[in-house]
Structure 1
Amino acid sequence: MSKNYKIFVSHAWAHSQDLLSLQNLLNSRGYFNVEFTEATKEIPINSQNANYIKTVLKTKIQSSDVILALAGVYATHSEWMTWELDTALACQIPIIGVIPWGQEKISSVVYSRSKTDVRWNTESIVEAIRKYAK
């Protein structure tokens, strides 16, 4: 029986399509079971209270086996992504940077915090998850 991976994807809401594409990519991979734990536009944390949102996100991060950080340059300008990745490091949850399809430059915020960075390729992402997930 294969392992079931709990994955938190750190992403910028303005680029939610990248999140959906990554989820579809991993969900369609045979013999690879994933459960996504992040908040999304479809399933948001219904609050304007930043402390409450951080509490909920920290719980989601702590319950994850690995963090996938979408490493587009836009991540460098996202305070939430920076907070999520710093929280993952503090909780000793491994971070894998995933470089969006067609991107040449990647976020320094992701690059400086990730164990590895992989291109937008199913097998590269799956291999990194299997190697680094707790």
Structure 2
Amino acid sequence: MAKEYKIFISHSWQYTDTLESLRNLINARSHFSATYEESTKDKPINSEDESYVKTRLAQKIGNSDIVLALAGVYASHSSWIEWELDKAIELDIPIVGVIPSGQERTSTIVSSRSIVDVRWNTESIIAAIRKHAK
């Protein structure tokens, strides 16, 4: 039986369309199975208590085989993305940066923490997950 990868996608809530596009890209790949751990607007962590939110996010990251970080420039302006990536490093969860389609510039917040950055291409993303997931 094929491995089912648990993936946490670090993303900005302002760009949930990019998150959904990445999930769709991964889910459309035959012979590849993934579940997702991140919080989304559809499945938020319903709390304004930052400590509680960080605890829940840390659990989700820690339960993941890999973190995919959307490496658009907007990531450089998100303290949450930076925190999630630093937590992944602390928990020894590998990080792969995914450069959104059409992006020329990328976030150094992501590229300085990722094992590798890949372009928006199904095979590159799947290969990076298979190679680097724990």
TM normalised by structure 1 equals 0.99
Instruction: Please give the secondary structure, in 2, of the residue aligned with 1:44.
Output: coil
- Report the count of equivalent residues: 134
Distance in 2, matches of 1:125 and 1:27, equals 12
- Who is 2:54 aligned against? 54
Distance in 2, matches of 1:21 and 1:102, equals 13
Distance in 1, matches of 2:95 and 2:29, equals 20
User: Residue 88 in 1 paired to residue 88 in 2?
Assistant: yes
Gaps of 5+ in 2: none
- Who is 1:63 aligned against? 63
- Who is 2:105 aligned against? 105
Distance in 2, matches of 1:94 and 1:105, equals 22
Distance in 1, matches of 2:82 and 2:34, equals 24
Instruction: Please give the secondary structure, in 2, of the residue aligned with 1:39.
Output: coil
Gaps of 5+ in 1: none
Instruction: Please give the secondary structure, in 2, of the residue aligned with 1:93.
Output: coil
Instruction: Please give the secondary structure, in 2, of the residue aligned with 1:9.
Output: strand
Instruction: Please give the secondary structure, in 2, of the residue aligned with 1:85.
Output: helix
Counterpart residue type for residue 49 of structure 1: D
Distance in 2, matches of 1:115 and 1:34, equals 20
Counterpart residue type for residue 114 of structure 2: S
Counterpart residue type for residue 3 of structure 2: K
- Who is 1:18 aligned against? 18
RMSD: 0.4
Distance in 2, matches of 1:36 and 1:21, equals 13
- Who is 1:127 aligned against? 127
